[in-house]
Amino acid sequence: MRHNSRRKKEFVFQIEQDDEMLVATCHEPEMATQGENLDELPAMIRDLIRCRFDDGDERLAWPIRLHFLHDPVLSAQVASNYHATFLAMKCAGR
């Protein structure tokens, strides 16, 4: 069986709650950012990637995958923001 050494052409960010912030960590290449909520976090991740790589770098076109270490639990009621959902998860010990 041959080992496929080709890397996936995508960024995978692990998302987890850290106190009052959501932290997004990519391990290949190593980089991280944070945001106050799920509305802000994607913009912070895109900004990080644009700052990390030069114009014309093919990685600027790679898709970004978000992997939540703890799945968010949604309610049928509309919350003021997603941050409340993650705080509820943290309080529930998830």
pLDDT digits (tens, 9 = 90+) for 68-92: 988 767 777 765 555 555 555 545 4
The Cα–Cα gap between 87 and 71 comes to 12
The string of DSSP letters for 8-30 reads PSSEEEEEEEETTEEEEEEETTE
Q: Which residue has the tokens 């106190």?
A: 19
What are the backbone angles phi and psi of residue 63, rounded to the nearest 5°? -70, 155
For residue 37 the two structure tokens come to 């909520």
Q: Beta strand 21-27 with 30-35: parallel, antiparallel or unpaired?
A: antiparallel
Q: Which pTM does this prediction carry?
A: 0.70
Pick the CATH number of 11-91 from 2.60.40, 3.30.2390, 2.60.120, 3.20.20: 3.30.2390
Q: Can you give the pLDDT at residue 94?
A: 45
Q: Can you give the pLDDT at residue 70?
A: 85
